[in-house]
């Protein structure tokens, strides 16, 4: 009996092995672009319904052993439509994939102030697309950039951050040109990028473009260190009639052995071992009021966000336990007295009656961040060629901001903007105003107020043309940038009434397509600054060679510049006086540096390496800078 059973089991095992070997079969083939025939490197071929997959090599070829004799393979590649191919036999299965038109829209960029594909752009670019943005809930738009290639993000706090793509990253930085829908977002007179001051809700953002090279030829001043451009979504581009989005996020930072007791709004319950809460709530609603197929379309969008979170605790040894609040002026430091008046510190120290009114207060950091903002937009699309867009927003922030003079306690710092844009065929025009009001912000090391009630006004006009069957594309335009600082004498002192800055620029760019693979570009821009005698010129040239639709080789030349800011030019703070009565001031540099020159035209200066003043030639002068 037993031998028969063994024989039966042996037959079953051999039959099973035969069936398994028969069920498995190897297929191969090549994956290409349906339009160009180019091999697609890295395309994924997956056996349908399984995790069994293969990837194409440098020639677009693949080989895959499938388990099911009657099944299918799924071929996918970024930017191309997915294709399902039935497989019923061993053999060769070549697949030609088609590009997805809607995906191409997502990778268009505006580095030349016009829409173009990433591979066609003359600069290195990183693009963060909407599908990536929608899958993340962040405290500020800056958080989307942390994983972008070539972008250096330094976190200075739970919401604070500094961004750089060229040069060194540093505190209170304004080297990178930051834009939202073509609008400069830096604080006007200080020209610093406080990204959490952007009033746009993260849910508004359609994509983020990071231009890694200098861009003065097209964008003018302050784009020598690259550009980051946040582009928001138009309500008219939504597939649905109305859309409402609500997001809620929260988190906790604390040691595991810490008992957390947190009182919202309190500032005295934090310690190095205490719990750290953070939560954010945002709301966005967009809709279409009118949506005629070939006529007028009207869309609107409103959004808002509230963020509250406890900042990282840090004790600065240079911050005194108590401070006397005041401000710097052209005549010296002014103290805010307890009766509401303001008097010069030298007067207070000399008058016992005034000295009795000095209010010394505890210098405690408020480590609780409170940020709220609101944003609104309305779009009119008269036809497919003409649009008119109005937008505006307000942002208020309370928290700790790091500066070059130590930490500042920002209290209800408000940033407000209004913007209008008009597009008609190849014409583009916009005008906007940014307003900054620093509220009750002061420096924690000395109690001096940071007073900023400045405005930045800008307008642009651009036109483009195409010739020679669209092989030659021309772009030209003019810009105006007007900075109107207002520091109430706290930073600009004696220059307060003469610190307005006017900048005007014009640019021209020619883009010629020699062939499908070779493209050349040349651009020139000129800018005039009201405090600089000579104009700035920014040339640009680029050659782009595309050996395939997915690869590009670029050779570029750019000359870029950063114009002097209001702080560079108009700073005027009286720090003290020498016994001789000479003022010791921190001052801006309006006139530049001047050197006495010898007969050969070389600048003369006193070197610190000389053994003594007596050893210097008599024709060398000393400059105090």
State pLDDT tens for residues 394-410: 999 999 888 878 889 99
pLDDT score of 437: 95
Strands 472-484 and 501-513: antiparallel
- The CA-based diameter of the chain, rounded to the nearest angstrom, is 123
DSSP readout, 536-576?
EEEEEEEEEEEEETTEEEEEEEE-------HHHHH-EEEEE
Instruction: Please check the confidence at residue 34 and state whether its pLDDT lies above 50.
Output: yes
pLDDT score of 590: 83
Q: How many CB atoms lie within 10 A of CB 197?
A: 25
More confident residue, 116 or 476: 476
DSSP state of 311: P
Segment among 74-88, 112-126, 207-221 with least mean pLDDT: 112-126
Average pLDDT over residues 381-390: 94
Kindly indicate the confidence band of residue 2, based on its pLDDT and cuts at 50, 70 and 90. very low
Instruction: Please check the confidence at residue 433 and state whether its pLDDT lies above 90.
Output: yes
| Cβ-Cβ contacts under 8 Å for 254 (sequence gap 6 or more) | 260, 274, 275, 276
Nearest residue to 307 (alpha-carbon basis) of 277, 279, 266: 279
Give the integer Cα–Cα distance in Å for 379 and 421.
Answer: 10
Burial class (CB in 10 A: 0-12, 13-18, 19+), 455: middle
pLDDT score of 109: 52
Instruction: Please check the confidence at residue 259 and state whether its pLDDT lies above 80.
Output: no
Q: Which run of H or of E encompasses 347?
A: helix 345-350
pLDDT score of 558: 86
pLDDT score of 254: 60
pTM confidence score: 0.75
Give the integer Cα–Cα distance in Å for 142 and 140.
Answer: 5
Instruction: Please check the confidence at residue 473 and state whether its pLDDT lies above 50.
Output: yes
Kindly indicate the confidence band of residue 23, based on its pLDDT and cuts at 50, 70 and 90. low
Segment among 10-19, 198-207, 313-322 with least mean pLDDT: 10-19
Whether residue 242 contacts residue 166, with contact meaning beta carbons closer than 8 Å, is answered with no
Nearest residue to 419 (alpha-carbon basis) of 381, 460, 479: 460
Average pLDDT over residues 170-198: 83
Kindly indicate the confidence band of residue 187, based on its pLDDT and cuts at 50, 70 and 90. confident
Separation of CA 75 from chain center:
36
List domains and CATH numbers for the chain: 2-99 (2.60.40.1120), 324-355 (no CATH), 593-625 (no CATH)
Residue 121, classed as helix, strand or coil, is: coil
For the chain, what is the mean pLDDT? 82
Give me the sign of the Cα torsion angle 144, 146, 150, 155.
positive
Kindly indicate the confidence band of residue 442, based on its pLDDT and cuts at 50, 70 and 90. very high
Strands 61-66 and 603-604: unpaired
Average pLDDT over residues 218-229: 85
Give the integer Cα–Cα distance in Å for 334 and 272.
Answer: 35
Structure confidence by residue, pLDDT tens digits, 233-243: 899 988 889 99
pLDDT score of 132: 75
SS (H, E, C) 312-362: CCCCCCCCCCEEECEEEECCEEEEEECCCCEEEHHHHHHCHHHHCCECEEE
- Out of 8-22, 129-143, 185-199, 572-586, the most confident range is 185-199
């Amino acid at each position: 009996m037993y031998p028969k059973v063994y024989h039966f089991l042996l037959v079953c095992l051999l039959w099973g092995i035969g069936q398994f070997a028969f069920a498995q079969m190897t297929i191969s083939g090549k994956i290409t672009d349906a339009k160009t025939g180019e091999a697609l490197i890295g395309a994924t071929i997956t056996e349908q319904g399984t995790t069994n997959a293969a990837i194409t090599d440098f020639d677009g070829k693949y080989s895959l052993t499938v388990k099911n004799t009657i099944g299918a393979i799924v071929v996918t590649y970024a930017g191309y439509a997915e294709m399902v191919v039935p497989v019923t036999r061993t053999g060769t299965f070549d697949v030609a994939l088609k590009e997805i038109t809607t995906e191409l829209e997502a990778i268009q960029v505006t580095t030349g102030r016009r829409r173009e594909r990433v591979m066609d752009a003359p600069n290195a670019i990183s693009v963060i697309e909407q599908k990536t943005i929608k899958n993340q809930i962040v405290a500020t738009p800056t958080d989307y950039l942390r994983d972008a290639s070539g972008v250096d993000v330094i976190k200075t706090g739970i919401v604070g951050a500094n961004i750089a793509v060229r040069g060194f990253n540093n505190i209170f930085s304004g080297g990178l040109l930051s834009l939202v829908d073509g609008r400069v977002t830096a604080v006007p007179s200080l020209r610093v990028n406080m990204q959490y001051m952007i009033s746009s809700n993260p849910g508004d953002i359609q994509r983020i473009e990071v231009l890694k090279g200098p861009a003065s030829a097209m964008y003018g001043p302050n784009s020598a260190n690259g550009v980051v451009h946040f582009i928001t979504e138009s309500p008219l581009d939504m597939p649905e009639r109305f859309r409402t989005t609500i997001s809620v996020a929260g988190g906790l930072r604390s040691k595991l052995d810490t008992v957390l007791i947190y009182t919202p709004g309190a500032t005295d319950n934090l310690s190095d071992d205490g719990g750290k809460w953070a939560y954010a709530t945002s709301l966005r609603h967009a809709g279409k009021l009118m949506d005629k197929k070939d006529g007028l379309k009207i869309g609107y969008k409103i959004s808002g966000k509230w963020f509250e979170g406890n900042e990282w605790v840090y004790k600065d040894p240079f911050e005194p336990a108590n401070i006397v609040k005041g401000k710097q002026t052209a005549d010296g430091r002014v103290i805010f007295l307890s009766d509401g008046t303001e008097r010069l510190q030298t007067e207070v120290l000399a008058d016992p009656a005034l000295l009795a009114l000095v209010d010394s207060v505890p210098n405690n950091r408020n480590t609780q961040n409170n940020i709220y903002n609101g944003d609104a937009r309305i779009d009119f699309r008269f036809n497919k060629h003409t649009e008119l867009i109005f937008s505006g927003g307000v942002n208020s922030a309370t928290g700790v901001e790091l500066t070059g003079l130590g930490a500042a306690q920002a209290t209800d710092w408000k940033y407000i903007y209004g913007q209008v844009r008009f597009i008609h065929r190849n014409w583009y025009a916009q005008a906007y105003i940014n307003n900054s009001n620093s509220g009750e912000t002061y420096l924690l090391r000395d109690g001096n107020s940071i007073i900023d009630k400045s405005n930045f006004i800008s307008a642009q006009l651009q036109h483009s043309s195409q010739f020679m069957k669209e092989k030659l594309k021309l772009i030209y335009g003019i810009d105006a940038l007007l900075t109107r600082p207002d520091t109430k004498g706290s930073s600009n002192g004696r220059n307060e009434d003469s610190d307005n800055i006017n900048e005007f620029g014009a640019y021209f760019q020619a883009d010629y397509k020699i062939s499908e693979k070779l493209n050349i570009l040349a651009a020139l821009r000129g800018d005039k600054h009201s405090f600089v005698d000579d104009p700035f010129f920014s040339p640009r040239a680029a050659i782009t060679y595309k050996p395939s639709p997915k690869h590009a080789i670029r050779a570029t030349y750019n000359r870029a510049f950063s114009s002097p800011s209001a702080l560079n030019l108009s700073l005027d703070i009286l720090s003290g006086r020498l016994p001789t009565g000479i003022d010791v001031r921190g001052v801006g540099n309006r006139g530049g540096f001047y050197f006495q020159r010898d007969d050969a035209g070389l600048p003369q200066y006193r070197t610190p390496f000389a053994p003594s003043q007596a050893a210097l030639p008599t024709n060398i002068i000393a400059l105090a800078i």
